[in-house]
Structure 1
Amino acid sequence: MLPGAACAFAVLLSPAVLPDQAGRVLTAAALPFGFYAAGATARALRPGHPVADRLLAVGVLHLAGIAGAVAGARLPGGSWPAATVGWVSAVLFASGFVALLDLLARYPTGQYAWAWVAGPVRVAAVATAIVTTVAVLGSPRIVSVLELPTGPNPAHLAALASASGAFLVALAAPLLGLGLLLARYRGASVLDRGQMRWPIVTTAVLVAGLVSTGLAERVLGPEVQTALFVGAATAVPASFLIGLLRRTEEADRLAAVEESRARIAQVAVSERRRIERDLHDGAQQQLLALLARVELARARLGEGDEAVERELGAIGEAIGSVHRDLRELARGIHPAVLTDCGLVEAVRSALARLPLDTRLDVSPDVERSRFGEPVEAAAYFLVLEGVTNVLKHADTADAHVSITAAGGLLTVTVRDPGRGFADPREPRGGLTGLRDRLAAAGGVLEVTSRPGYGTTLRGVLPVAGHV
């Protein structure tokens, strides 16, 4: 921040230092000032974000190059100090384009989309410094990034005269960065694409302006070309800043939603367990006590009225049936075996009660593990919903359930070779609630089906750790 402020201050002094060149200096500095201001704002609002640092780096390097050009124009022409300042300012200014390449390669997340990109960016930085140095040595006059009047170059090497314009290769860096950004856009999420569109448009305008500078000057004139280019280019840093702020706000909002979902899932699991306990300790125990009283009354009745005995027997059977239904209801709300023994035993217990020929495959890691309550509950009810749908709709008695864990993900799959259905993307009955249940635990549900080829439910749930 401080070096950038010093360079900005030096550029703003140009009207006093070079009155006859002040317009050219300030016009050239408009875009670097935009990057510097955008970077400083981004750093204040999103400290530590790589995109903020790169925005600031582009502005500082270009301002430093321009400040060096102003300082070099005030030094004695043809002197070694002037040549040294011209060389340093040229390297800094060219490096600003490499910083723009790095910004485009990292935008909008701050990380490279592909690990291999880091190598070419480093090579571009080193190559730019070397090529610029060669161009400076090959120039017969002291190099000025603003093309200000300078004296003869005391470091000129005639053998390198043909390379005097080689530093213009640095202008290809933004073009390469734009290509990387476009390639990243193709595979980006909807959130990232929304923040990438305007930077792509504004950077394309900037690159087109850099490439066509000579032609535009001849057609429109230097003044008109400069005014149009500067006006369009100042939108570039603003588009990056707005995209960065909007993306981080959306990311924060999504993170808050995910945290809220996780809390809701945990509360739902706890509430289901509470209801199950209440049913077990309350209504079920009362029914058992009532059944015991009926049996006691029948024992005391002895060989009494057969009609009364039959009625008491019927009442006892009805109470027993209600108790069994209530026990099944409690098990469906949150099966005790899921809490006590884990996911695999709960699934085995559920499948054993169903009239299906179900094959269950469980990976050893899952067999020996316990997962978080929301994850186990979501996985259990996925299996339950899947096999229930096989019974109701698949017109088959065969099903295959598999549960695996790898790479921090628990995958639960229920397949059947039944009749299937036409559009698995359309919400159908319990699948909508199942999607919501998995989403609340941080997972996703994939449904694959085709008429005559069966149905596959595949749930993927993140497991941060397991016991």
Structure 2
Amino acid sequence: MSSRLVAGLLATIAGASIVAGMFVATGWPPPPSEWAFAIFGPVLSALGWLLAARRPELRFGWLLIACSLCLGLGLIGLGLTFRGAANPLVSSLYAATAAFYGLTWIFVPLLFPDGRLPSPRWRIVAWISGAAIAMHAAGVVLIHHNRYDLAGLRLSAEELAVSLLAGTGQFVTWVMAVVVFCGLVVRWRRSARTERGQYAWMVGGTVATLAGGALIMIDAFGGEVSASGAVGALVMLGSLPAAIGVAVVRHRLLDVRVGIRGSRLHLVFDVRPTVDEVLSDLGTALDETPEPVEQLGRVAAAVRTVLDTRWAAVTLEDGTRVVAGKEEGAAALAVPVRGGLGRIECGPRDTGPLTRVDRRLLEALAVPAGLAIQSAGLVSRLVNAQEAERRRIERNIHDGVQQQLVALIAGLELARATGAGPELLAQLREQARQTLADLRELAAGIHPSALGQGGLVEAVEERCARLPVRTTVTSPPALRARRFSDEIEGAMYFTVSEAVANALKHAGAGTIEVRLSHAEGRLRATVADDGAGFDPRTTERRGLARLSDRLDALGGNLDVHSEPGKGTRMNAWVPVDG
């Protein structure tokens, strides 16, 4: 059974019991004054149903329904008592009025607006209040059932104990009501500007409720039902629901507001989007936004829109921060992004505090935020890698080929000025050939000509043919004739090239095996050596890390398996068509 159905059923029972109690007490047709009770009485149960149905995870709506049930059961017990019924069931029903007073005077203002205690320090007040309400109700049951002669003060020891039990419970309930009211006033005075209005309405409603209760008590001590008692009952029944209703609607505590359509007022329920709807819309927006930093902005904007906050921000672990809205004040809610990549924060909102539902929405948004953060980090690393590669090429040109060309020009000038003989010209020719070879080597490091002309297999074979150790390259015959995009061939070539270079420089390998394959829509490369090996957990691999990012950008992956003394195996793959 859904929580909304349960709330509706309990609220209906509560409202019906309030009306039934009025009719049982007065008979049919009821006097005009009782019609007012029949109209105002069910308002509390209706408001409780509205809150419980809209936000079932918040206990405040259920608390209002409980108050209505206690009022309805108490009125039925009171009506049956007027009819002369006297049995334990009637006494128990009548004792529900004690629970109604305690819940209304203490727990409703204490747990406003979200059904939670203001702080752990109020737990002792809640426990004492609960015990006092139970004592008062138990005393009412015993006194009402046994019809003690309180007026004549002819009480036995047992009867006196029961009377003290009920009186003590009622007195402590009054004291706790005053304590809770003072705490409510303090919360109102200390609340933020956005919350002060809702607390002000609650303070006013509590004052009116306590005043109505005082009028009822004064009327009860007088022994006769008077106009002041009727007014007190109406005030107590109507003031608190009215205050809560205004606070909810005016300050949109539960996404409820008043709208105007033509000449009529009506309630507007701002239906909150589900987690699936939010993720679907955000996924579409991210697909339409290829720029990673802009994706983070889309995530922040989605958080701000869904939670209706003043601002929202996505922060990366490196300090990068993208904010939607104008950031003012501290964050009201923050959740980490899975994997420790960053966090999502949002500021307060003008329409009430953030709730557990808002936290669940924010945690759901942390998943696409993590993907966007990963994408942004990958692009950042690729940009840094490209910049580092450009600096390396510039350094190699400046320190190598450029200096050789300068020396060659100087030699030619010297030969022209001195009329150089065959030996100097031969030396200059050899120097020019070496410069050309260095240029070709540099060009191969940027994009080897064999890769553009013959394909991946031929370029890898040419690269490995120049190695000073025994190196074998194996591949299916069909792969030699296959061509792939420049991005895929370049990524796989330089991955293999970096792996064999590491095997020579760091592992001291004597044998290197390279395998290229194409199956199941993936182009794979495996490089294995018999070198010294290493511990991947403690060794930094900057070159392969940059290439791993390059493969990730193409949808592929790279992993390295190695142990000290057992060689190294690198596996890389990228998705390809067919």
Calculate the TM-score normalised by the size of structure 2: 0.41
Instruction: Mark the structure with the bigger radius of gyration.
Output: 2
Calculate the TM-score normalised by the size of structure 1: 0.49
* Higher helix fraction (1 or 2): 1
Larger relative contact order (CA 8 Å, sep ≥ 6): 1
